[in-house]
């Protein structure tokens, strides 16, 4: 009898695994590609800076402010956007987001003044608001909590992939197309990298389904199994209203924790090309190729740490240890700035640690928030956290203008990752 029960249990698990493999292959590669083009449009300004700042006579502070002001628009429109997505469905709203931000990103090629740069970056953030938390929310419609770290990791390795792909691509565009049609390399960069977002927005309308029940590629028994697992998962989630969610102390604590991690993320994302240039590398193509190394290592780390976190059903240490690794890497980057090989190694360690935190982090709010509360809570955490996306690049630019070096800024970013590790101890249960 015991053997029969064990066999039945194994068979049920195998059936579950087969269905979730089918869902994963259907959704995750497509969403991954969407996020690659999204993140590329968000941070390609870091490569454009290598030509744009001198061409337009911008100060380092002006560049940092323009890079970061994206997140002010993002902050203002994040929660309304996610609530609209929850009400109207993911397919139409995500398509709208991608098409409008692709158009505006391409329009950045026409910037001539600091104020034009600020305005376009602000509205780019406003148009993109809701994309990332919307996808995180969308994944909760399909995957139960115990699978989410690895699924979110597969999705979020798009950040690393955009660095692996975007670095060499951006370097090539800015080198090979400089002067073509009378446009600078950075202008071609914004134009060419804006088009894929528009194309993917159209593809979203044709490819995504709003729910398990609406999908045509699942059998009835597969839909029933998936819906039953999600329903069981929702039984442990909070039944808070939107207002209660926005006042919830745990949501605000997670927002503070995410803020610390995003300080490190965008400090690296927006300044990595400049940091590599500071190691003594002058060729745009070489900078592009070298920038792919930290992101490539980070992609592997994200998947391995998320898989370990899911298999052990443990979140605290899987957040704290990568955060501390990011902290050490940032400090070492400042100390070893004059040594190219060791400096690149330190930047790689920092990038891998910072990015590996993110997929595990997003298992925390989705474990206790559901429905409209999840839409509001995820959006609040993301928009508060992404205020660091405004502060971090602006802070790095201001420190570089004041001191002539990014070393002190790297130490500030390291302190933020250390604070994030300490807050993790408070915010999570063992």
Structure confidence at residue 237 as a pLDDT band (50, 70, 90): low
pLDDT at position 90 over 90: no
In a domain, residue 237? The reply is: yes
> How do residues 268-301 score in pLDDT, each as one tens digit?
776 677 778 877 777 777 887 888 888 889 989 9
Q: Which two tokens stand for residue 334?
A: 């400042």
Distances (CA, A) of 43 to 111, 193, 277: 16, 11, 17
Helix/strand/coil (H, E, C) string of 174-243? HHHCCCHHHCCHHHHHHHHHHHHHHHHHHHHHHHCCCCCCCCCCCCHHHHHHHHHHHHHHHCCCECCCHH
In a domain, residue 3? The reply is: no
pLDDT at position 339 over 50: yes
The pLDDT, as a whole number, for residue 246 is 78
* Best-predicted range by mean pLDDT (31-40, 210-219, 330-339): 210-219
In a domain, residue 134? The reply is: yes
Nearest to 94 by CA among 205, 212, 206, 215: 205
User: If you average pLDDT over residues 401-408, what whole number do you get?
Assistant: 82
Q: DSSP of 95-147, one letter per residue?
A: HHHHHHHHHHHHHGGG--SHHHHHHHHHHHHHHHTTHHHHHHHHHHTTS-GGG
CATH code of the domain containing 125: 1.20.1250.20
In a domain, residue 7? The reply is: no
Q: DSSP of 355-408, one letter per residue?
A: HHHHHHHTHHHHHHB-HHHHHHHHHHHHHHHTHHHHHHHHHHHHHHHHHS-SHH
In a domain, residue 8? The reply is: no
In a domain, residue 128? The reply is: yes
Task: Look at 237 and 148; give whichever has higher pLDDT.
Answer: 148
User: If you average pLDDT over residues 393-403, what whole number do you get?
Assistant: 82
pTM of the predicted protein model:
0.76
In a domain, residue 361? The reply is: yes
In a domain, residue 4? The reply is: no
pLDDT at position 361 over 70: yes
Structure confidence at residue 4 as a pLDDT band (50, 70, 90): very low
- Dist. CA 308–CA 417, nearest whole Å: 21
- Dist. CA 128–CA 101, nearest whole Å: 6
Q: Which two tokens stand for residue 163?
A: 């660095």
pLDDT at position 134 over 90: no
Number of domains present in the structure of the chain: 1
Q: What are phi and psi of 238, to 5 degrees?
A: -65, 145
- Dist. CA 171–CA 192, nearest whole Å: 13
- Domain extent, residue 368, equals 13-427
The pLDDT, as a whole number, for residue 429 is 64
Q: Which 8-state DSSP code applies to residue 281?
A: -
Structure confidence at residue 7 as a pLDDT band (50, 70, 90): very low
User: If you average pLDDT over residues 32-44, what whole number do you get?
Assistant: 82
Scanning the structure block, which residue is given the tokens 């690895």? 150
Q: Which two tokens stand for residue 218?
A: 């699942």
């Amino acid at each position: 009898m015991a053997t029969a029960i064990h066999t039945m249990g194994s068979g049920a698990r195998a059936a579950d695994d087969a269905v979730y493999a089918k869902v994963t292959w259907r959704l995750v590669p497509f969403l991954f590609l969407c996020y690659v083009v999204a993140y590329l449009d968000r941070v390609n300004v870091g490569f454009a800076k290598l030509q744009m700042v001198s061409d337009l006579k911008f100060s380092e502070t002006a560049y940092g402010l323009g890079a970061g002001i994206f997140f002010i628009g993002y902050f203002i429109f994040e929660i309304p956007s996610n609530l609209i997505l929850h009400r109207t469905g993911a397919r139409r709203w995500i398509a709208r987001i991608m098409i409008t931000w692709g158009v505006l990103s391409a329009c950045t090629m026409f910037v001539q003044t600091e104020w034009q740069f600020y305005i376009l970056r602000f509205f780019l953030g406003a148009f993109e608001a809701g994309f990332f938390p919307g996808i995180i929310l969308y994944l909760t419609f399909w995957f139960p909590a115990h699978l989410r770290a690895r699924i979110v990791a597969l999705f979020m390795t798009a950040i690393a992939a955009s660095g692996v792909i975007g670095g060499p691509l951006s370097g090539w565009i800015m080198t090979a197309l400089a002067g073509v049609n009378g446009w600078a390399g950075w202008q071609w960069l914004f134009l060419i990298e804006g088009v894929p977002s528009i194309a993917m927005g159209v593809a979203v309308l044709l490819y995504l389904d709003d729910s398990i029940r609406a999908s045509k590629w699942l059998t009835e028994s597969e839909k029933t199994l998936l819906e039953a697992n999600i329903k069981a998962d929702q039984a442990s989630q909070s039944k808070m209203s939107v207002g209660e969610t926005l006042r919830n102390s745990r949501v605000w604590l997670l927002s503070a924790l995410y803020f610390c991690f995003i300080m490190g993320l965008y400090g690296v994302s927006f300044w990595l090309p400049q940091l590599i240039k500071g190691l003594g590398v002058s060729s745009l193509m070489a900078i592009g190729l070298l920038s792919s190394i930290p992101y490539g290592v980070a992609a592997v780390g994200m998947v391995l740490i998320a898989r370990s976190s899911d298999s052990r059903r443990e979140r605290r240490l899987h957040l704290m240890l990568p955060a501390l690794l990011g902290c050490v890497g940032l400090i070492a980057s400042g100390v070893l700035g004059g040594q190219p090989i060791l400096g690149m190694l330190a930047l790689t360690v920092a990038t891998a640690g910072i990015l590996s935190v993110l997929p595990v982090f997003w298992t925390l709010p989705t474990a206790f928030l559901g429905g409209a509360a999840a839409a509001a809570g995820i959006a609040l955490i993301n928009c508060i956290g992404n205020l660091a996306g405004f502060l971090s690049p602006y802070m790095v630019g201001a420190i570089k203008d004041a001191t002539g070096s990014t070393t002190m800024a790297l130490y500030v970013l390291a302190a933020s990752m250390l604070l994030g590790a300490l807050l993790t101890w408070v915010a999570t249960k063992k």
